[in-house]
Amino acid sequence: LLLTGRRSIMSTTERPLEPIACVVCGGRKQDIDHCNCGRSPKKEVPWHGFGNPTPLAIAAFSTTLTTLSLALMEWRGVTIANLFIANFIFYAGITMIITAQWELVLGHSFPYVVFSSFGAFYLGYGAILVPSFGVAAAFGDDTEQLNNALGFYLTIWTVLILIFAIGALRTNLVFINIFGLVLIAFILLDASFFVTADGDPITGRRLRIAGGYFAFFAGLHGFYLLLAQVFEMMGFGIILPLGVIPDNWFRFQRKEKHK
């Protein structure tokens, strides 16, 4: 995933470049034009003196999503997700929005949009579960309208995740799998709320559990990506395969007309 470049602490006029991390695979390289993955930025990554914020966002995303998926799958009889408000708001929500701003400072536009959006989603979802906000209580006994409203809420987010999944096609297979699994999970949850609103709670429950499984595997992919980044930033010398997409895949160029 996107990592920052670093320089050694020397004078501002004479300080050679340290190995710069590839913005695609995270690998270190002395030569900015070459990397083992075959894809490198065409210009030097500027040094900002900051660390890499991406692992924190991935950790928050994976931890919160995996915890939520356990409730969706009803493991050990847990079906009420209110306890996880702590993760939704104080870990994933706040943390991902903060790390997104650092991604913006470092010039990483795609992670900025993704992390900001998911951080806001977790904050919003947590707000729905907070009883004092009165979101669910506003519907009273009208569970049909409540389920339809939740279905609409997640459906629009499903469209946004689809757009993110298309953008992820230019990164690596792990990132693509995360968005693909989350997309399927959201589609199943959308259907679950609508089916329940139509008076079929049994099918709605089955769809919700199925969506929980896809969310669970998405969370596991997130932990794998996090482990790969921890190995890199702590210098273990272990490079976990991420399945970097070749540069000429999913790349479209407008052909110029010859006069």
pLDDT tens-digit map of 213-244: 999 999 999 999 999 999 988 888 888 988 88
Residue 17, pLDDT score: 42
Residue 98, pLDDT score: 93
What are the tokens at 237? 């010398």
| Band of pLDDT at residue 250, cut at 50, 70 and 90 | low
Q: Note the pTM of the prediction, 2 decimals.
A: 0.77
What are the tokens at 199? 């008076």
For 202-231, b where at least 16 C-beta lie within 10 A, e where not — what string?
eebeebbbbbbbbbbbbbbbbebbbebbee
Residue pair 216/73 in contact (Cβ under 8 Å)? The answer is: yes
Residue 170, pLDDT score: 87
Interval 106-142: pLDDT, tens: 888 999 999 999 999 999 999 998 888 888 889 888 9
| Band of pLDDT at residue 77, cut at 50, 70 and 90 | confident
Mean pLDDT of 27-38: 47
Instruction: Write the CA distances from 225 to 54, 59, 218, integer angstroms.
Output: 10, 9, 11
What is the rounded distance in angstroms from the CA atom of residue 255 to the CA atom of residue 252? 9
As to burial, measured by CB atoms within 10 angstroms (0-12 exposed, 13-18 middle, 19+ buried), residue 113 is middle
Amino acid (one-letter) located at 228: A
What is the rounded distance in angstroms from the CA atom of residue 196 to the CA atom of residue 202? 8
* DSSP at 84: G
Residue pair 24/170 in contact (Cβ under 8 Å)? The answer is: no
Amino acid (one-letter) located at 212: G
Using alpha carbons only, how large is the chain's radius of gyration in Å?
A: 21
Mean pLDDT of 22-29: 49
Residue pair 40/26 in contact (Cβ under 8 Å)? The answer is: no
What is the rounded distance in angstroms from the CA atom of residue 64 to the CA atom of residue 30? 37
Instruction: Write the CA distances from 90 to 69, 117, 126, integer angstroms.
Output: 18, 16, 9
Chain centroid to CA 233: how far?
Answer: 19
